[in-house]
Structures are given as structure tokens and as C-alpha cells.
Amino acid sequence: MNNGYSSPAGASVRSDAKFHAPVPTRRNWDENIGIWWREIDRWLLGLIFLLMALGTVAVAAASPAAGNQYDVAEFAFFKRHIIFQCLGIVVMIVVSFASREDARRIGILMAVGMLFLLLLVPIFGEEKNGARRWLDVGMSLQPSEFLKPGFAILLAWMLSWRLRDPGLPVLSYATLTMALVGALLMLQPNLGATILFGGVWFVLVLLSGVSIQRIGALIVGGLASITAAYFLYDNARYRIDSFFGGGTAFDQVDLAQRTLLAGGWTGSGLWLGRRKMNLPEAHTDYIFSVIGEEFGLLACGLILLLFVAIVARALVRLVDEENLFALLAGAGLATQIGGQAFINMMVNLQLFPSKGMTLPLISYGGSSTLAVCFTIGLLLAITRRNPFLEREKPGLKNLFERKEDRA
């Protein structure tokens, strides 16, 4: 008998004999795990685990060089990396269980919280190598690392308002948010992170349907900002000048390139590399060079292909996505991961100034590893979908059709 009660999504209904009313019951863990396994992108999850496994081997190779630099046991960093990898996997899986609405809420709260901590960094932050980017909270916490996923989610949420009210100045809101984040990062200073955040902002603005004229204006504004950073910030000017004209930072990048090429196509073998012992930050910023020396250029090519596959797979899941927020958030998170990997590899190949940026899922790191796994968890949550639901309108195709109509 239909008594007019409809059960919420995800709840089953049982009848209460005393009151003759249906009462919703929660799904048990087996059902939740079954639904998660059915909706998760297993190909993307497999690529992530493969990259993390290769990263574990890479940190094992770089750990003796890092131990020698910091005067600790040879495999101290490797042991810590295993711990952070395990914690990161737990974080990634737990976050991937979130619904899209919960992922949006988590991302926005993360963005607000990290922006607040970012305000505290210039005052209470720890200074390392001439930069003040970390807060001591029992461990070194770099707020900008955890701001990355929150920033992509926050911008996607703002830009998706356009569908509700086309008159809202969402581009202005997104640009002001980027300007605030950029200003706080340059106070540290952190030019590399500023460029990465700017890239994510540009991609999301581009996908949100901005006209060609505004895109041109944004490009000009970005170039003007970089020029201003060169003249106003000593750190930015030093890194750029060092890259083009030689200097300490350039010497590090040059050493990284020489280390990367020393192994040839197949590498010298695990723990047989010698150049890595003189390489600063071999386990973090320059771990790609260690991979090149010990496992060869073919292994470096494999790492590159895996990052391309991860970004491509995420975008494939978004091709027929009709939810604009999900499309923008997924694209932003994928851009962030791929962009950071691209910058790190370019630095190791001496094609980009030194940025102090790790290689996601590969480099050793405490808070950075957890932050990357948190980002992947959000990406997995947003790209989840019920395989039994049919979609009639391709998301990206429909988005570009709307852009052409406006033009």
C-alpha cells in the first residue's frame, strides 16, 4: 500500500508494525562498499596505485642521498615515506566515499581554513632556505599544499553560479580570489605555487564559458603580473636571472639535469647511482633526476605517460558530465596534479627555473603527500558515477557549443 512516503536516496524502508509507518534504515558497510566499488573509476584508481608504488621505489633509491645530506640513517626517509604513504591511502579512500555535495562542502571548508592559516604564515611561519611557508603544528604543515584542492573546488563552485544567474559577476569573484591567494603566496615568497594556482584559475575560467576577448585580457593581465613579480620580488628575480644567466639555483638545476641523463636509457641500477649523492633535495624536488640515473630515461618516460594517463582518464570521465560544478571541479583537480608534475619535470630537465615543487605521488613528503592523496580522493569522489544512468548530452561538448553560440 502506498502511504505517500518516499524514502531518501541510499535508504531502504522497513515497516513498523506498531505505528504502520515505513522507517528508513541506513545501508550497512557491505552495501556502501559495493556501491563505492561500482561507481568509482577503477582505471583511475589503478593508475594512482601504480604511480604510488613507483614513487615508493624512487624514494628508496633517493633515501641514501637524502640521509647523507641531512646526516641521518640511509633509509630514514624511506621508512617515513612508507608511513605517510599508508596514511595517504587511508585519506584518499575515505575522501573518495564522499558524495559530490559532500566533496563540495569539504573542499570549500578546506579552502577557507587554509586561507586563514595562510594569513598566519608570514607572522608565525618557520623559515627554511629563505622562504617562510610552514607552520609548526607538531609537524611542518604547509597550508598552500592543502589549499590546492580547496582552491579548485571553491573556484568551480563560484563559476558554476553562472547557470543559476547569468548576471552574477562570477569572473570577478574568481579573479579576486586568485589575487588574494597570489598575494599571500608571494609574501612567503612562493612563485612556483602562485604560477600553479594561476594555471588552475585560468583553466577553470576558460572552461566556464568566458568570451575570447576576456580570455585575451586575462592573458595580458597574467603576463603583467609575472613582470611585476620580477621587478618587485627579489626571490622571483633571482630565480629567473639564475635560470638564464647562471648562479646557485641554476647550478642545482644543471646538476639535476646531469644526474637525470647519467643513467642513459636503462639506468645504472637501484642504489648504484653516484651523482645523486651530490644532488640537493634528491628525495623531494629532484627525485625525477634520481629516477633517470638509476632506472633510466625509459622509466622517466613511463612516469610521464602515467601522469598523462591520469589527467586524460579524469577528463574522459567528464566528457559527458552534465553537472557544471562537477565538470569544473574535476578539471581543476586534474589540472593541478598534472600541472605540478609538469613543472617538476621541466625543472629537472633544466627547462624551467627552480621552483621547490615536489613530484606528486612520487616525491617524499609529510603534509605534501597527505595533501596530494586528499586531492586524489576528491577527484575520485567527483568522477564517481552510477554506471546504470544514461547521459544524453555530452558535458564538455555541450559546454563548447554554448561558448560558440555566445561568440
pLDDT in tens, the chain (407 residues): 444 444 444 444 444 444 444 444 456 777 888 888 888 999 999 999 999 999 999 999 999 988 888 888 888 999 999 999 999 999 999 999 999 999 999 999 999 999 999 999 888 878 776 678 888 777 778 889 999 999 999 999 999 887 777 778 888 899 899 999 998 998 888 888 888 999 999 999 888 876 667 677 777 776 777 677 666 666 666 666 655 555 454 467 778 888 888 888 988 988 888 888 888 888 888 999 999 999 999 999 999 999 999 999 999 988 888 888 999 999 999 999 999 999 999 988 887 777 778 999 999 988 889 999 999 999 999 998 877 665 555 555 555 555 544 44
Q: What is the 3-state secondary structure (H, E, C) of 208-265?
A: CCCCHHHHHHHHHHHHHHHHHHHHHCHHHHHHHHHHHHCCHHHHHHHHHHHHHHHCCC
Question: Which of helix, strand or coil describes residue 112?
Answer: helix
Q: What is the pLDDT of residue 269?
A: 84
Would you call the peptide bond into 8 cis, given omega within 30 degrees of 0 as the criterion?
no
Residues 360 and 374 sit within 8 Å (Cβ to Cβ): no
Q: What is the pLDDT of residue 407?
A: 46
Assess if residue 108 is contained within a domain: yes
Q: What is the pLDDT of residue 229?
A: 65
Residues 212 and 407 sit within 8 Å (Cβ to Cβ): yes
The count of residues in the chain is 407
Q: Taking the mean position of all CA atoms in its chain, how far away is CA 284?
A: 16
Residues 91 and 370 sit within 8 Å (Cβ to Cβ): yes
Alpha carbons 308 and 286: distance in angstroms, whole number:
20
Q: What is the pLDDT of residue 8?
A: 40
Assess if residue 105 is contained within a domain: yes
Alpha carbons 44 and 315: distance in angstroms, whole number:
11
**Cβ of 54: how many Cβ atoms within 10 Å?**
18
Assess if residue 341 is contained within a domain: yes
Alpha carbons 391 and 20: distance in angstroms, whole number:
39
Torsion 321-327-329-333 (CA) sign? positive
Q: What is the pLDDT of residue 18?
A: 45
- Position 88: which residue type? G
Query: What is the domain count for the chain?
Result: 1
Please give the DSSP secondary-structure letter assigned to residue 97.
T
Which domain covers residue 151, as residue numbers? 40-385
Assess if residue 35 is contained within a domain: no
Angle between helices 234-245 and 248-262 (to 10 degrees): 50
- Position 292: which residue type? G
Cα atoms in the 13 Å half-sphere on the side-chain side of 97: 10
Query: DSSP for 102-171?
Result: HHHHHHHHHHHHHHHHHHHHHHHPEEETTEEEEEESSSEE-HHHHHHHHHHHHHHHHHHGGGT-TTS-HH
Alpha carbons 125 and 191: distance in angstroms, whole number:
17
Instruction: Report strand pairing: 126-128 vs 131-136.
Output: antiparallel
User: Burial, 151: exposed, middle or buried (Cβ in 10 Å; 0-12, 13-18, 19+)?
Assistant: buried
Alpha carbons 276 and 325: distance in angstroms, whole number:
44
Assess if residue 206 is contained within a domain: yes
Assess if residue 400 is contained within a domain: no
Alpha carbons 152 and 199: distance in angstroms, whole number:
11
Assess if residue 113 is contained within a domain: yes
Question: Which of helix, strand or coil describes residue 22?
Answer: strand
Angle at CA 221, nearest 5°, toward 215 and 222? 90
Q: What is the pLDDT of residue 299?
A: 94
Q: Which residues pair with 13 in a beta bridge?
A: 24
Assess if residue 319 is contained within a domain: yes
Q: What is the pLDDT of residue 398?
A: 57
Report which of 338, 298, 283, 254 is spatially closest to residue 81, judged by C-alpha positions.
283
Q: What is the pLDDT of residue 241?
A: 64
Alpha carbons 194 and 184: distance in angstroms, whole number:
9
Report which of 342, 335, 55, 97 is spatially closest to residue 199, judged by C-alpha positions.
335
Grid look-up 566515499 returns 97
Alpha carbons 82 and 251: distance in angstroms, whole number:
31
Residues 309 and 41 sit within 8 Å (Cβ to Cβ): no
Q: Assign residue 182 a region: left if phi > 0, alpha if psi is -120 to 50, beta otherwise?
A: alpha
Question: What are the residues whose beta carbons fall under 8 Å from the beta carbon of 201, sequence distance 6 or more?
Answer: 155, 174, 175, 177, 178
